[in-house]
Chain A
Amino acid sequence: MTKLLDFARLSARQLMKKRMRVLLTAFGIAIGIAAVVAMVSFGEGIRYQAIETIRQQSDLTLIEVTGSIKDGTVIPITASKADLVRKIPHVEAAGPVYRVSFSTLRQTYIDVLGIRAGDLKALFRPVLASGELFPASSNQVLLGHELAGKLKKYEGIREGDLFTVVIRDYNEYGAPSDRKLAVKPGGTLRAREDALDNLLIMDLDSVSALSNESMPYNAVYVRVDDPENVMAVARDVQSLGLTANGAFRQIESVNRFMDLVILFLSIFAAISLVVGALMIVNTMVMSVYERTREIGVSMALGASQGDVVTLILAECLYIGMIGGILGDLLGIFFSWVINTAGKAYLLSQTGNLFSAFARYDLALVTPGILVAAFLVAVVLSLVSGIYPAFQAARLNPVEAIRHT
């Protein structure tokens, strides 16, 4: 171990003799590293913004659990399955629902959520703008904020007005048959900026009584305690053989897409890394050639082939470390340029389209990126040193000593 440290010190002395050359070579690697750092940070910045946007616009902790089809057989949501779902860790509330749709006599389409009033409270913490929730087993309904506005504007229906809706069923031959039902809005929700705004909400049992399906409900809504745990809950749901859907799926696909984008960006940036690596190979091959006699003498004085390889690789290690640090610094600088000049340009070109971006940095440099880039620089330098190192070790000492 101390031997390695002494070798490291010796290699450092060797490099100090050729400071300029070492610095230039390290710079070659550094530019590649900086390009990768900037590109990955840029990608991460975009990912962050996209995900933040989704977070703000959607209800991340809500999961809709539905049945699934496995090997051609349908796994439905049953009461016992719903209980299992409720027992999953990090599930704050869960309630069965029945989703159907109505239309008014004037063909206004209405999405309907059948749910128990208690579950509605636990899952959505509804705030009423007027009226009340709905009683069990009745035809009184609750209107989402936008739906209430729509019904009033196009149909003239207000709270307390009984109105007729049409439920369209299809028989086994696909022929439609309509049933009529009178419902009465008894309350209106405050605007919430989510899906409830456009829903007509009524008691679960009343809705499932309307249906001619055998199951009492067709989904379970699940509220997860924290956005961080949504994926874990979704996995547990899937292991019950059920399907989990929700806004988190969008984040998943953003992540998949951004992984791909970042991969492509870094592949292009990595091309300059290859150039940097070739510079190291070149520098070290030259250095070995210049030191041919010195290497021969070292062998005469007791250096083994392994010692020679170690000495050369130690020099590459230094070049890699210098290159890695320079590259990180340069990468931070590039990201800063993207965040100032780049962002100003983007905003001026796209106007309001990307105004959401104005709040965040375009490129997000994380410690993880910097550490990874540094390691890439070090490993790349060591790999670049393998050929020159073995070339040095293979020298014939007698000929090497005679070399001028």
Chain B
Amino acid sequence: MCTTIEADHLGKVYRGSIPALGEASFTIGKGEFVTLIGRSGSGKSTLLNILGCLDSPSSGSLTLDGEPVDFRDPARLVSIRRQKIGFIFQQFNLLPHLTAQENVEYPMLFNYREPEVRARTAGGLLERVGLDGRRDHYPAELSGGEQQRVAIARALVSNPPIILADEPTGNLDQKTSGEIFSLMQEIGRERKATFFIVTHEREFGEYADRSFRLVDGKVTAI
């Protein structure tokens, strides 16, 4: 199995403070569904942001989808984010003035696709996450679970090999959280996409092919 994420001694020290992330080393294969748990403040979000090329590590190296990431090349980081990464947030972070359909299309404005392609892709994905009838609804008209489904569709829109989610169910109740997890799991299998999911709740480990734990800045398998 080829690897999609290869983290080698990734570390992060914020200015003048104790290390937020120690030496995280792990490899994740294509299409794997992985969860990462750890105490609050253990550096989970820090690690995820580095994996998503939003933040740069203080030490160590990262290879995504076979490409060693050069964190000093902002233009390259942008295109990695466009082509290789899908983000799912705890706060959903849909744009409030755009409809569900437009929110899903949104990343294709940057990773540019023609309007017809955008409409078709976004429509298909909304259908896949079970929100076919809600295309023209604004985020404020959707429940938390529905908003997160829209966000999942949005993360998939450029067909990235890696999807990163930071506590995607942190704002959802138990039942909805389970639905979201199984949706992500199914989609991961369909698309052979790697899911890397930070979560507080241990029990969602059951969805995962593998679970990691972040303790004292180090990643260990459970």
Measuring CB to CB, which residues of chain A are less than 8 angstroms from any residue of chain B?
Answer: 2-3, 6-7, 10, 13-14, 16-17, 293-294, 297-305, 307, 397-398, 401
The residues of A that contact B110 with a CB separation of less than 8 Å are 298, 301-304, 307
Are B98 and A300 within 8 A (Cβ)? no
By the criterion CB–CB under 8 Å, are A304 and B75 in contact?
yes
The list of the 5 closest CB pairs from A to B, nearest first, reads A302-B82, A302-B110, A301-B107, A304-B78, A297-B93
Q: By the criterion CB–CB under 8 Å, are B109 and A6 in contact?
A: yes
Distance A397 CA – B102 CA, assembled complex (angstroms): 22
**Cα(A140)–Cα(B96), bound, Å:** 97
Chain A residues within 8 Å of B97, by CB: 13-14, 16-17
B54 within 8 A of A: yes
Chain B residues near A302: list those with CB within 8 A: 78, 81-82, 107, 110-111, 158
13 A-B pairs whose Cβ atoms sit less than 8 Å apart in the complex: A13-B98, A16-B97, A297-B87, A297-B95, A299-B81, A301-B81, A303-B78, A307-B110, A398-B54, A398-B55, A401-B54, A401-B89, A401-B93
Residue from B87, B93, B95, B114 within 8 A of A2 (CB atoms): B114
For residue B74, CB closer than 8 A to chain A, the reply is yes
- CB nearest to B86 among chain A residues: A301
Distance in angstroms between the alpha carbons of A299 and B111 in the assembled complex = 11
- Is residue B207 contacting chain A, with contact meaning CB distance below 8 A? no
Size class of the contact patch on chain B:
20 to 34
Q: Does B130 contact A (CB under 8 A)?
A: no
Considering the complex, give the chain B residue whose CB is closest to the CB of A308: B110
Bound complex: CA A323 to CA B95 (Å): 27
Does B49 sit within 8 A of A, measured CB to CB?
A: yes
Q: Which of B75, B87, B109 contacts A300 (CB 8 A)?
A: B87
Assess whether B109 is in contact with A7, with CB atoms less than 8 Å apart: yes
Residues of A close to B26: CB separation below 8 A? none
Give the residue among B109, B112, B154 with the most A Cβ atoms within 10 A: B109
Smallest CB gap from B111: residue in A: A302
* Chain A positions within 8 Å of B43 at CB level: none
A300 / chain B contacts, CB cutoff of 8 Å: 52, 54, 81, 87
Note all chain B residues with C-beta closer than 8 A to A7.
109
Closest CB in chain B relative to A204 CB, distance in Å: 81
B49 contact from A297, A301, A303, A398, Cβ within 8 A: A398
In the complex, whether B71 has a CB less than 8 A from a CB of chain A is no
Does B181 touch A at the CB level, under 8 Å? no
Complex CA–CA separation, A302 to B97 (angstroms): 19
- Report chain A residues within 8 Å CB of B68: none
Whether B106 is near chain A, meaning CB under 8 Å from some CB there, is: yes
Set of chain B residues within 8 Å of A304, measured between Cβ atoms: 75, 78, 110
- Residues of B contacting A401 in the complex (Cβ-Cβ under 8 angstroms): 54, 89, 93
- Which residue of chain A has its CB nearest to the CB of B92? A297
B66 within 8 A of A: no
Could you say which of B78, B87, B98, B115 contacts A6, with CB atoms under 8 Å apart?
B115
Q: Contacts of A298 on B, CB cut-off 8 Å?
A: 106, 110
Distance between A8 CB and nearest chain B CB, rounded to angstroms: 11
Q: Is the CB of A3 within 8 A of B109?
A: yes
B54 touches A10 (CB 8 A): no
Establish whether residues A305 and B74, one from each chain, have CB atoms under 8 Å apart when the complex forms: yes
**Are B106 and A301 in contact, with the CB atoms below 8 A?**
yes
CB-CB contacts below 8 Å: B84-123 with A:
87, 89, 93, 95-98, 102, 106-107, 109-112, 114-115
Give B102's nearest chain A residue, CB to CB: A13
Per-position 1/0 for B48-69, Cβ under 8 A of A: 0100101100000000000000
**What chain A residues lie within 8 Å of B82 (beta carbons)?**
302
Given A298-B110, A302-B107, 14 other A-B contacts at CB below 8 A? A3-B112, A6-B109, A13-B102, A298-B106, A300-B54, A300-B81, A302-B82, A302-B110, A303-B78, A304-B75, A305-B74, A397-B55, A401-B54, A401-B93
Are A301 and B87 also in contact (CB < 8 A) when A2-B114, A293-B93 are? yes
| A307 vs B52: C-alpha distance when bound (angstroms) | 19
B105 closest partner in A (C-beta): A6
B81 to chain A, nearest CB (A): 5
B20: shortest Cβ distance to chain A, in Å?
11
Q: State the CA gap A80–B53 with chains docked (Å).
A: 84
CA distance A307 to B112 in the complex (A): 11
A17 — nearest CB in chain B belongs to which residue? B97
Closest to B155 in A: A301
How far is it, in angstroms, between the C-alpha of A397 and the C-alpha of B55 when the chains are bound?
Answer: 8
- Complex CA gap A9/B110 in Å reads 14
A293 to B109, CA, bound (A): 18
Q: Which residues from chain A contact B109 at a C-beta distance below 8 Å?
A: 3, 6-7, 10, 307
Cα(A299)–Cα(B109), bound, Å: 12
